[in-house]
A and B are shown apart, each in its own frame.
Chain A
Amino acid sequence: MELALQVQDLTVRYGGFTALDHIRLELEQHTTLGLVGESGSGKSTLARVIAGLIAPDEGQILLGSEELRKKRSKEQHKQIQMIFQNPDASLNPRHTVRQILAEALLFHRIVDRSQVGRRSTELLDRVQLEARSLDKYPHEFSGGQRQRIAIARALSVEPSLLIADEPTSALDVSVQRSVLELFHTLRTELHLTMLFISHDLGVIHAVSDTVAVMRQGKLVEVNTKDEFFIRPKHEYSRELLSAVPKMPR
């Protein structure tokens, strides 16, 4: 299998605090890596470094065979898109959905100006939103709908890697489920390569092929999903799994 992403010895320090400590990670094409860990373990920092929002202090990121440096090209920016945790803050409050999608489509020349409307409708359809949502502002939508718009925006530029940073954590359980189902559909239909971050093992189980566990800035285990949930290698992984509340049978 070809590798979509390789992270080598990635280190990020904030003053004396080491947020990421020599992270090594590989992500195969068309697979989803679920990244788990408690708050403050460095999951989001890792996502932001890969997305190019934070510059690492040490280490390398390879997208395919290309090294991503601190200054990325427009094309490299396009290749990695991210969906954020907070649906209230991830869309510009003063842009309509049409403006949000059109900006991405036109900036990366995905389609001609004349095709923007049609493509935007298609994108909304992909994330199961109606075309009449196009001229609405973010505040007119629910959290789950806003997250769908964010997904549509990320998909609009046809990235080779999609990072989802706790995309369902801020949503109600029922909404969470429908957004997860959407991720599942997109994954199978579009053969996406995804880095999916969550502290919720149930969510990780639903979306991942591979699971990676982070703790205090270090990667403690990388395993296939089935192996991880049946026979976790690391002591901390076992702790995480045993901490999941079980429904009474």
Chain B
Amino acid sequence: MNTTTHLDPSLPESGKTLSTLRQIGKTPSLLIGIIMFAILILLALFIPYLSPYQPSEQNLSAFLQPPSSAHWLGTDQLGRDLFTRLLYAARTDLTIMILAEIIPFCTGVMLGMISGYYGKWTDRIISLITDTFIAFPFYLIVIIVAFASGAGERGIYITFILVGWIVFARVVRGLSASFRKQEWIASAQTLGLPGIRIILRHLLPNVLPQAVVVLMTDMIGLLVAIVTLGYLGIGIAPPTPDWGTMISDGQPFITTAWWLSAVPGFAVVYTGIALSLLGDGLADIWRKK
């Protein structure tokens, strides 16, 4: 193949990926966000091979040890290796964080587009539902659902399916309503395209970037919620490792072994920073386009 064709920006695929990579390289926040998040994910994925310990393996003769070469981050009150536990907890918490966002993201984006595109009574009904749910504090709903369905992951999933879509619906509704007045939507209507096709093929690619940026921020909020619930004892149930329960388990030893609570706390902050850098970076790239 002729090598010059690769340099032509009008050519699809190869040229496109290249320019995308170049753009990521030019956006430091995105690059740092990707690297930070990738390190966390890779460590969590490969922790069974990286650590000789099991997350719930107790060793009562070596409890509350400070960091050492055998235990990089020390051990807790039951002699469990903190580093191992921290990354197994990352598996739990990040999996829930990502899975719990899927359905709310899809429904929120869809409802937002429908609401903004059709306007009128469709919009009024969807906005009414949105406003009703907003009136209830998130944690109140989580606690009610947790009591009704039992503590643990299920409560988080159910609650998030109930209320998680709202933030996406609101952002996407606003965007869709403004795009709706644009002439490219009118051209699609003049062609006679059905509403659902205009929504999926024309609106969706235009609202998606902004929705993904919101998703990044929302995931941070969800992670904090998962950890808070774990801390309160109505989230992930022990012995499954989770950052929230780790923070609360370490609390009685805060004066003698402060790292027990500080390390999982730092992990939450680290993940939050990684995700917000990712979100900011994506927003930067899409704004330039």
Q: Which residues of A contact B (CB under 8 A)?
A: 48, 51-53, 72, 74, 76-78, 80-82, 84-86, 89-95, 103-104, 107-108, 132-133, 135-136, 139-140, 150, 153, 157
Contacts and interface: CB of A to CB of B under 8 A. Distances in A.
Contacts of B202: 92, 95
A150 B189 CA distance: 14
Given A95-B202, A103-B191, A136-B10, 18 more contacts: A51-B190, A53-B186, A74-B192, A78-B191, A89-B182, A90-B184, A90-B187, A92-B188, A92-B202, A92-B205, A93-B206, A94-B206, A103-B193, A107-B192, A108-B192, A135-B12, A139-B289, A157-B191
Contact of A82 (B182, B190, B193, B205): B190
B191 A104 contact: yes
Given A78-B192, A107-B192, A107-B193, A84 B186 contact: yes
A157 B187 CA distance: 12
Contact of A153 (B11, B12, B187): B187
Nearest to A134: B10
10 contacts: A48-B186, A51-B186, A51-B190, A53-B189, A81-B191, A82-B186, A89-B184, A91-B187, A92-B205, A107-B191
B83 to A, nearest CB: 44
A76 to B, nearest CB: 8
B28 to A, nearest CB: 24
Interface in B31-58: none
B190 A135 contact: no
B interface: dominant SS: helix
A154 B76 CA distance: 70
Interface string B1-34: 0000000001110000000000000000000000
Contacts, number: 67
Given A89-B183, A94-B205, A103-B201, A52 B190 contact: yes
Interface residues of B, number: 19
A95 to B, nearest CB: 8
A58 B10 CA distance: 49
Contacts of B193: 103, 107
Contacts of A93: 184, 206, 289
Nearest to A136: B10
A72 B192 CA distance: 8
B68 to A, nearest CB: 54
A21 B115 CA distance: 32
Interface string B188-222: 11111100000001100110000000000000000
B183 to A, nearest CB: 4
B187 A150 contact: yes
A108 B188 CA distance: 12
B186 A77 contact: no
Contacts of B184: 89-93
A89 B178 CA distance: 12
Contacts of A78: 191-192
